[in-house]
Structure 1
Amino acid sequence: MTAVLPPLFIMVALAIVTVFLLAAFRIIPSLSDKALAKEAAKGRKDVFSPRSKLFADNLQNQFETPVLFYAAVLLAIITEPVSDWFITLAWVYAIARVLHTIVHVTVNIVIVRLALFTVSVVVLILMWVSLHNNLMG
């Protein structure tokens, strides 16, 4: 059971790190630029750097398909035993999502992001199929 926790913690850490980096890209410039801070306070997100938009978009991504990952891992833990196959899939998912984030907020090559996203979704499907087979038998 505990072998599936590290990929789960990696995914949580990824979301938290993304939150802090987004905050850095938005708060730090706002501290030194009162006009920017005033516009940001009105809800204008377009006043921030394009890089901050990448972090904002990526943070939103952390609460889309990863929610299904969290649910699958928790269900696997609750229903035990967690198979080695499922643990491997969880690791592949977490690694693909970390790489997706790195690509998204740095070089932002869409075809690479799409490939990593596709890998993560296929792995997520396999995780749920594995769960279904283990539970329904």
Structure 2
Amino acid sequence: MSSKLLLLPMLTHVIWVALLYVLLTVVRAPAVWGFIKSKKDSWAEVEPRISANLSNQFEWPLFFYVICVLIISMGNIIEPIQFWLAWVFVGGRLLHSFIQILTNNIRLRGLVFTINFLAVIAMWLLFVF
């Protein structure tokens, strides 16, 4: 399997982050443009969660991007498990976003983060060893 296939999950995550920026802009726009008169009419509860989730997209995913770039730069054929671990990570990031934005379930969010974390650690270990 070509290492360049890792570009697909990477692109998917980039598109997801771009969509989060769009969502945050849409949620903030009524207040910025003065279309709402009270906090009850706004997305006051959801906006901080979207913002926090967007910030999360630049924390642990950094290690995902680094390992993917390293794997691709080596130009080697990769094991399918690395490809699937990349998709587990991206799918987990999507699920993490939905949980963080739509619920207050910190335990579930932590469980999903752990899956993301372990997927990237496994990618690193497979690369190094």
Compute the TM-score of the two structures, normalised by the length of structure 1. 0.82
> Would you say 1:12 and 2:27 are equivalent positions?
no
The equivalent residue for 2:52 is 57
- The 2-side partners of 1:48 and 1:108 are apart by 15
- The 2-side partners of 1:94 and 1:108 are apart by 21
Out of 70, 81, 84, the residue aligned to residue 77 of structure 2 is: 81
After the TM superposition, which residues 67-106 of structure 1 pair with which residues of structure 2 at under 5 Å, given as runs?
67-79=62-74, 80-106=76-102
Aligned length: 123
Greater RCO (Cα-Cα under 8 Å, separation 6 or more): 2
**Cα deviation per residue 1:74-98 (whole Å; 9 max; x = unaligned)?**
1111112222111011011111111
- The 1-side partners of 2:51 and 2:122 are apart by 28
Percent of aligned pairs sharing the same letter: 25
SS in 2 for 1:67: helix
**Cα deviation per residue 1:54-89 (whole Å; 9 max; x = unaligned)?**
011000000000011011111111112222111011
**Cα deviation per residue 1:13-63 (whole Å; 9 max; x = unaligned)?**
111111111111112322124889xxxxxxxxxx97121000110000000
For structure 2, the 5+ residue unaligned runs are none
Q: What is the root-mean-square deviation of aligned Cα atoms in Å? A: 1.9
The equivalent residue for 1:117 is 113
- The 1-side partners of 2:36 and 2:108 are apart by 38
Q: Is the 8 A contact 1:4 1:82 kept in 2?
A: no
Bigger helix share:
1
Compute the TM-score of the two structures, normalised by the length of structure 2. 0.87
- The 1-side partners of 2:72 and 2:15 are apart by 19
**Cα deviation per residue 1:77-122 (whole Å; 9 max; x = unaligned)?**
1112222111011011111111000111112311111110011001
- The 2-side partners of 1:55 and 1:116 are apart by 17
- The 2-side partners of 1:29 and 1:82 are apart by 48
Task: For 2:18, give the aligned amino acid.
Answer: I
